[in-house]
Amino acid sequence: MFRLIFILLCGDPADTSVTDALLPALARCGGVRYFSASRVLRRGEGAGFLVFETEKIPEIEIGSGILLLKNGIRPQEPVRIPPGFLCVLETKNAAAAALLKSSACAAVTCGTG
């Protein structure tokens, strides 16, 4: 059975550091399809991952995936994040932590903070 892993990458669209590191890695691990407001691309063979990059967290109507919150994400109205999502943010990302405060989803922090 084919399983597509959905990754929602949210934050400043001008900050491409996460995207530039993530896409080549995912291309080697099953292939990736990437969509943003300005770009659509395919890397690697297959399509194990679907990455959608946006400035804000959209309304999420799918049951599971990974929500990766970049540094510099702007405050927004609270959004319901399904419990099947894993949220990833840098340790020092207070704005992202505030967005997740009322959420029941699991969160993982990374970084040197």
Which residues lie closer than 8 Å to 3 by C-beta, 6 or more apart? 48
- In this model, does residue 64 exceed pLDDT 90? yes
Mean pLDDT for all residues in the chain: 90
Share of the chain above pLDDT 70, in %: 96
Q: What are phi and psi of 95, to 5 degrees?
A: -65, -40
Q: Give the Cβ contact number of residue 7 at 10 Å.
A: 19
Q: pLDDT class for 33, splitting at 50, 70, 90? A: very high
What CA–CA distance (Å, rounded) separates 39 from 75? 24
What CA–CA distance (Å, rounded) separates 110 from 91? 6
Which secondary structure element, helix H or strand E, spans residue 25, and what is its range? helix 17-28
Q: Say what the pTM is.
A: 0.89
- In this model, does residue 112 exceed pLDDT 80? no
Instruction: Please name every residue paired with 110 in a beta bridge, in sequence order, or none if there are none.
Output: 90
* Tokens, residue 12: 């400043």
